Amino acid sequence: MGRWAPGATGRLVESALELYRERGFDQTTVAEIAARAGLTERTFFRHFADKREVLFAGSGALFEQVAAAVAAAPPGTTPFDAVAAGLDAAATVIGERHEFAEQRNAVIAANPALHERELSKLASLAAAMADALGARGVRASTAALTSETGMAVFKVAFDRWVADGTAGTLPELVRDAMDELRVVAAAD
Amino acid sequence: MGRWAPGATGRLVESALELYRERGFDQTTVAEIAARAGLTERTFFRHFADKREVLFAGSGALFEQVAAAVAAAPPGTTPFDAVAAGLDAAATVIGERHEFAEQRNAVIAANPALHERELSKLASLAAAMADALGARGVRASTAALTSETGMAVFKVAFDRWVADGTAGTLPELVRDAMDELRVVAAAD
């Protein structure tokens, strides 16, 4: 996939990210985003509920893909490895668009409210994985522990990938970080 | 330590939590909190910057204690065990007040903005631990991974403790969860 999604959605996203970085998220209006994309406000609202959704669109679909990957792990897969499969699914989707991720991340890092929103989305993703583990018969406390720590590993790998797109693909960096967790958590 | 801190602070916290639970956080005013505590608004503002600070006061001191515990781990301690020492310090402080934690948690869970704020504080605590590991010579990527996963373990243990105060002390539950992470992350 290229830098941006094709068509009107891609142009709106690109224009929004440019404006958020130039002026700040709070100072940007939907009218300005639409104008820079050469589209109308009405078109904007056919694609996004509001200007924040430009940054968080698609998270529902992502949650479903991640939960499906956890559910689809072969019987006998450990909870940790089932979570690894879920994170690999997330990394594959998110990892397709490095430049989008990088610019989006810069906007979110500059705005505490957006950053808090992002953390909340990641917490929801961990909860979705925990539910999928529960459906596999994993007890709730183990499911929570495995999902939360998996999500923590994902965040670290994502930060590495955003900071340096040449360090590896996102799925590779997530696998590396999961392996590293096994090492650092190993009893002495 | 008893249910609440002694004196005016304790009365203000108790009154605030009662009102937040009865009416909701957004619907409660500082004037109402002060009135229920039998104090003036001016007294409230001598203790707290605003009504949100009732829930988040003391986090700066907590961060310092946690960072100090990470720093004070004996030379040769693994990054994972140094983080465990930091989390034990946090658990010891927070674990002194179960009823406060329980009521505070109910208020935060009911209000998405407060919940996002709480996640942001936990992320800052993880960053403080990562900095303290860095000062011990741990490389940045390992420090981030260990701190973030440690924080994830702490969250899970905290949720267990809030849900059931008889399951163990908070430091015990944090140690149990750290041990469980070692087991679930162990390579097959």
What is the complex's ipTM, to 2 decimals?
A: 0.81
Distance CA B75, CA A148 (A): 29
Cβ contacts of A186 on chain B, cutoff 8 Å: 182, 185-186
B58-185 matches B7-47 in CATH topology: no
Domain-wise residue ranges, chain A: 7-47, 58-185
Question: Mean of the pLDDT values across residues B142-155?
Answer: 95
Q: In which residue are the tokens 């829930």 written?
A: B55
Distance CA B111, CA B109 (A): 6
CA distances from A145 to A166, B152, B182 (A): 31, 7, 11
Q: Is the pLDDT of residue A45 over 50?
A: yes
In eight-state DSSP terms, residue B169 is -
Q: How far is A180 from chain B (nearest CA, A)?
A: 8
Identity of the amino acid at B159: D
Q: What is the mean pLDDT of chain A?
A: 92
- What pLDDT does B57 receive? 86
Distance CA B62, CA B102 (A): 18
The minimal CB distance from B187 to the residues A112, A151, A182 is found for: A182
pLDDT (tens digit, 9 = 90+) per residue, A89-117? 999 999 998 999 999 999 999 998 999 89
Q: Is the pLDDT of residue B1 over 60?
A: no
Residue B164 three-state SS: coil
Residue A53 banded pLDDT, cuts 50, 70, 90: very high
Q: How far is A151 from chain B (nearest CA, A)?
A: 8
pLDDT (tens digit, 9 = 90+) per residue, B18-36? 999 999 999 999 999 999 9
- What pLDDT does A59 receive? 87
* Fold of the domain built from segment(s) A58-185: Tetracycline Repressor; domain 2 (1.10.357)
Q: Residue B115 and residue A120: Cβ atoms within 8 Å?
A: yes
Question: Mean of the pLDDT values across residues B160-187?
Answer: 91
Cβ atoms within 10 Å of B97's Cβ, excluding its own: 18
Convert chain A into a string of H (helix), E (strand) and C (coil). CCCCCCHHHHHHHHHHHHHHHHHCCCCCCHHHHHHHHCCCHHHHHHHCCCCCHHHHCCHHHHHHHHHHHHHHCCCCCCHHHHHHHHHHHHHHHHCCCHHHHHHHHHHHHCCHHHHHHHHHHHHHHHHHHHHHHHHCCCCHHHHHHHHHHHHHHHHHHHHHHHHCCCCCCHHHHHHHHHHHHHHHHCCC
Domain at B7-47, CATH from 1.10.20.10, 3.40.50.970, 3.30.360.10, 1.10.10.60: 1.10.10.60
pLDDT (tens digit, 9 = 90+) per residue, A109-162? 999 899 989 998 999 999 999 999 999 999 999 999 999 999 999 999 999 999
Q: Tokens in use for A12?
A: 């709106």
The minimal CB distance from B146 to the residues A146, A182, A184 is found for: A184
Q: What DSSP element (H or E) covers B61? A: helix B59-72
Q: pTM for the full model?
A: 0.86
> Taking each helix axis from N to C terminus, what angle separates B59-72 and B79-94, rounded to the nearest 10 degrees?
140
Residue B2 banded pLDDT, cuts 50, 70, 90: very low
Q: Tokens in use for A178?
A: 């999961």
- What pLDDT does B153 receive? 95
